[in-house]
Amino acid sequence: MTDLTKLTLADALDGMAKGDFSSVELTDAHIKACEGAGKLNAFITDTHDLAREQAKASDARRVSIKKSGGTVGKLEGAPLGVKDLFCTEGVKTCAASKILGDFQPPYESSVTANMKADGMVMLGKLNLDEFAMGSSNETSSYGPVINPWRKNEDLVPGGSSGGSASAVAADLCLGATATDTGGSIRQPASFTGTVGIKPTYGRCSRWGVVAFASSLDQAGPIAKTVKDSAILLQSMAGYDAKDSTSLDLEVPDWVSACGASIKGMKIGIPKEYTIEGMPKEIEDLWQQGIKWLEEAGAEIVHVSLPHTKYALPAYYVVAPAEASSNLARYDGMRYGLRVEGENLAGTYERTRTEGFGAEVRRRIMIGTYVLSAGYYDAYYLRAQKVRTKIADDFKAAWEQCDALLTPTCPSAPFAVGRKVNDPITMYLNDIFTVTANLAGLPGISVPVSLDKDGLPLGLQIIGRALDEETVFKAASALEDAAGFTAKPEKWWA
Ligand code: GLN
């Protein structure tokens, strides 16, 4: 039999439907791949026994559904990975932080509940930056995730969804859940030659997803192809009364949008996304992307998003502010780690000092500072006003175009340890991705090329709020034109 881990999710679902192989066979092949990939450190918790049980149940369900003439679930029997930020009932969920200890949620996040109802087989919980704060997966208290792509030394897979990206790129799972607060789906996708989409804010429920910055956090998939990402998002998205910011709207048929013509589509090129010091290769790739979309029938228009340069500073005020509030609940009283002190305040202090890593403590301090009396107006309120300006820039751009094409990141994946002691350089990774979070817009990263060192590079499509359909159309046109099929050499097994 061919190597089942090399299949796309779409092909694996087809293969099971045709009876070419079972979910048990597919799952076993992926478990074997996971067992041989310890060096990548992509998973925090393996749930292989559970996966085998779920696969067996899925095969049985398929037989009985077939008999009754019904349709199987959208993800029936597909072995997938779940970022360890999604609460999973009875399975350790720790957000890669020591402070959550061995917390086993008594409930399931709405997104993973949707996927389970659609037949997902869960291989395990994927590593990430602690509380999803980071751009390289080096802030995890479970150690860094390693990118399957290499250049004489270990490279980062991006962050915070580095485990998801690394596992998909290395064919350890057919797809994975991820979250994106400032770029954590799209940047790791770009760094690993995978596809990652952050939908419109409110499309996927945040209920049961460990909170980082609630007004920016949004779930989405990392997948091998644009179509696979549509299949996954179709299952993950949907209204949920348990999340007050969830959008009460039908989930459109995004899978059909993949491969549809982009003739006449207007693609905007924002001039402010040309930044000083960006490698020429990325600039050239962007130009190539413009040509590809033009050849596919799109019309290119040049647009301006004048407040772009304020996006990163605004993000690094708003995100830490919300994080400092969200993380106040980890006090050693209810769950997770508790380190006794001399008195109550001492217990709080010791628990939080020992439980949180350096980057998380930095964010809590920045957040507390910008929200404190006297500084609130100068920083937090100001950042919120900038956020409105950024959203207005996009609204003006939509008068001229249907979607935007930009690079996903200002660089290719870098070496482990290279930027870890320089937070500002690290924060610059998010320069092209944070704008979509601040404005709540959908954005996708598509792998299109290898750089001179043989490392993957991605381009990003940003769309109007709720218009994932156009995003998927443009992304699959890019994917078709680029024909990116490169895979990393398998050095880890
Ligand atoms: N890298 C950004 C940060 O560190 C974004 C993280 C994310 O999207 N979760 O905040």
pLDDT of residue 120: 98
Closest ligand 1 atom to residue 185 Cα is 8
CA of 29 to the centre of ligand 1 (A): 32
pLDDT of residue 406: 98
Closest ligand 1 atom to residue 316 Cα is 10
Ordered per-residue pLDDT tens for the chain, 493 residues: 579 999 999 999 999 999 999 999 999 999 999 999 999 999 999 999 999 999 999 999 999 999 999 999 999 999 999 999 999 999 999 999 999 999 999 999 999 999 999 999 999 999 999 999 999 999 999 999 999 999 899 999 999 999 999 999 999 999 999 999 999 999 999 999 999 999 999 999 999 999 999 999 999 999 999 999 999 999 999 999 999 999 999 999 999 999 999 999 999 999 999 988 888 999 999 999 999 999 999 999 999 999 999 999 999 999 999 999 999 999 999 889 999 999 999 999 999 999 999 999 999 999 999 999 999 999 999 999 999 999 999 999 999 999 999 999 999 999 999 998 888 888 888 999 999 999 999 999 999 999 999 999 999 999 999 999 999 999 999 999 999 999 999 999 8
pLDDT of residue 277: 83
Rounded to two decimals, what is the model's pTM? 0.98
Residue 447 and residue 478: Cα distance in Å, rounded? Answer: 9
Closest ligand 1 atom to residue 426 Cα is 1
- Please name the residue whose Cα sits nearest to atom 10 of ligand 1: 133
Mutate to test the pocket of ligand 1, among 139, 181, 435 (most ligand atoms within 8 A of CB): 181
CA of 213 to the centre of ligand 1 (A): 10
Domain spans in the chain, listed from the N-terminal domain onward: 7-262
Mutate to test the pocket of ligand 1, among 133, 186, 206 (most ligand atoms within 8 A of CB): 133
CA of 355 to the centre of ligand 1 (A): 20
Closest ligand 1 atom to residue 212 Cα is 9
pLDDT of residue 428: 87
Residue 378 and residue 384: Cα distance in Å, rounded? Answer: 11
CA of 2 to the centre of ligand 1 (A): 38
pLDDT of residue 335: 84
Closest ligand 1 atom to residue 319 Cα is 10
- Please name the residue whose Cα sits nearest to atom 4 of ligand 1: 134
Q: Which CATH class is domain 7-262?
A: alpha beta
pLDDT of residue 1: 59
CA of 377 to the centre of ligand 1 (A): 24
CA of 314 to the centre of ligand 1 (A): 13
Which residues have CB under 6 Å of ligand 1?
Answer: 132-135, 160, 180-184, 212, 319, 430
Catalytic residues: 83, 160, 184
